[in-house]
A and B are shown apart, each in its own frame.
Chain A
Amino acid sequence: MNAGIYLGPRKSAWLRAKALILAFVGISTLFHGVERYAQRQEVVTLRGELAAIEEELSRTLSSNAPNESRAVMWQLRAVSESGVAGAIPATELLKLLERTLPDGVALVAVTIDPIPPRASLTIEARAAREADVTELQKNVASAPRVAATQLLEERRAPDGLLTIRLQVDLIGGRP
């Protein structure tokens, strides 16, 4: 039941349309804001996880490669802070690395190709023993969300350590 008789000026069709447009823009802005907030929260969570992983990796990486460790940490930080987290959640990436890197394998670099439909990673690592490299390959291949792995390069450096480059194809656009 309406409130009564109203004989005042009618709102024009343009004013009504304007109100609708404003409402639409307002809702979109609000939604965008909420989405951004969620993304920021994801990054904050990621940084926390990263700090924990950094500590863990520092303990597990070979003691003769501190500079490389720092370089990896820097790269992982770059991943977490550059917004790549939106394309490939870096938390997932870090978990993958944490689970698959055996003791005695030092991570040198991680390159991400997030372009769908198949995102891929290239992991560059150094190890003292052939067996560690084999274990890394096996771990990665059996990890969830990994579609395929391919050893791109394996060479022994003058310092005696093995350097490998491993391509990891992920299932779907987002691991």
Chain B
Amino acid sequence: MSSFVWPFQKTRFGLAFSDRFVLAVRNGGPLQIAMRELPVGLIEPSSVTPNIRSVSELAQLAEGALGELEARREGVVVLLPDRSIVTALYTSRRGASEKELQAAMGAKLAFPSREVRFDFWRGRGGVVLGAAVREVVAEQYEQVVEATDSRLGWVDSASLARIPDWARPSGGSGLDVQLQLHANHYCLSVFLEGSLVDLRIKLRPVGILDGVQREVTRLPALHGVALRTITVLGEGAAALAAALEEIPDLGRVHVEDDGEERLLASALKALLERPRP
């Protein structure tokens, strides 16, 4: 749409952080990716305590990845690890003010609300997706970006970035499930006629998919609606999709078994297409 209105789309850049690597992406033309693997323990995602052991060391690696793409350092969008933020889904909060939502979400946090940045995405049918990040956590990642002489653009979390794009009516009845499989966790988002009705971000042991399969199998009973489509993205997507095929009356299954870096790159791409906040 934006390219229709303004055909001269600028090249933009993004950085995604995980506990295993930092990824730089260049948008505008073919998607280009540069990745740097991280030493063990350099990033330990947490929503409570600072995540980065050495900001300067991580900044050097990020600089290397951005440099490989010859990145222009303006409006660099950033994806924080899922586990660095707290997420909440409110299914019927139509008309709720920002203040009310902050109070509701703040009451459930393990740290004081005054130390937190909140944001709320309002979807169809009064659905509100809330996200909270502790200042000390966000500031560390921002310091890394600033250390690469970059100006910050949009900041979101890895698995939430594409939810607004997915929350569109699909023209059929039944649950549309999006599964994002990361190395150590997964994000399950469920849509009913374009409305986000369920969201779970959970840890999983590396390579183990049993828990994910069980969660998906239970969804029809939980929501009283049959599964219509399942999209499985990320590490082990093909294996999980094969196991899910056994679910009776399952609709279409779409698989992109690309590895975590492709998953993050796709999320960054979605973010890069958003206007600057």
B-binding residues in A (CB < 8 A): 1-10
**New A-B contacts (14) at CB < 8 Å, excluding given A5-B119, A5-B160, A8-B154:** A1-B122, A1-B123, A2-B122, A3-B274, A4-B121, A5-B121, A5-B129, A5-B156, A5-B161, A6-B119, A7-B131, A7-B155, A8-B78, A10-B117
User: Quick one: which of A1, A2, A3 has the most chain B CB within 10 A?
Assistant: A3
A5 to B160 alpha-carbon distance, docked (Å)? 7
A5 touches B157 (CB 8 A): yes
Residue B33 at the A interface, CB < 8 A?
A: no
CA distance A31 to B264 in the complex (A): 48
Kindly provide the distance from the CB of A100 to the nearest chain B CB, expressed in whole angstroms: 60
The chain A residue with its CB closest to the CB of B123 is A1
Cβ contact within 8 Å between B85 and A7: yes
Q: Is the CB of A7 within 8 A of B161?
A: no
Q: Are A8 and B275 in contact (CB under 8 A)?
A: no
User: Would you call the interface of chain B mostly helix, strand, loop, or mixed?
Assistant: strand
Residues of B within 8 Å of A, CB-based: how many? 29
> Chain B contacts of A3 at CB under 8 A?
164, 274-275
Main secondary structure on chain A at its contact with chain B? Answer: loop
Evaluate contact between A7 and B80: CB separation under 8 angstroms: yes
State the Cβ distance, B99 to closest chain A Cβ, in Å.
Answer: 14
A2 to B161, CA, bound (A): 13
Restricting to B105-150, which residues have a CB under 8 Å from any CB of A? 117, 119-124, 129, 131, 133, 138, 142
For the complex, give the distance between the alpha carbons of A5 and B163 in Å.
9
Cα distance A55–B160 in the bound complex, in angstroms: 78
B101 at the interface (CB under 8 A from A): no
Q: List 21 A-B contacts (CB under 8 A).
A: A2-B120, A4-B156, A4-B163, A4-B164, A4-B271, A5-B119, A5-B157, A5-B161, A6-B119, A6-B154, A6-B155, A6-B156, A7-B80, A7-B85, A7-B133, A7-B138, A7-B156, A7-B157, A8-B142, A9-B152, A10-B117
List chain B residues, Cβ under 8 A from A9. Answer: 117, 138, 142, 152
Nearest-CB residue, chain A, relative to B85:
A7
Top 6 nearest A-B pairs by Cβ distance? A8-B155, A5-B131, A4-B164, A7-B155, A6-B277, A7-B133
A7-B131, A7-B133, A7-B138 as given contacts; A2 in contact with B157, CB under 8 Å:
no
Cα A9 to Cα B164 with chains together (Å) = 21
Interface residues of B in 204-231 (CB under 8 A from A): none
Q: Decide if B119 touches A7 in the complex (CB within 8 Å).
A: yes
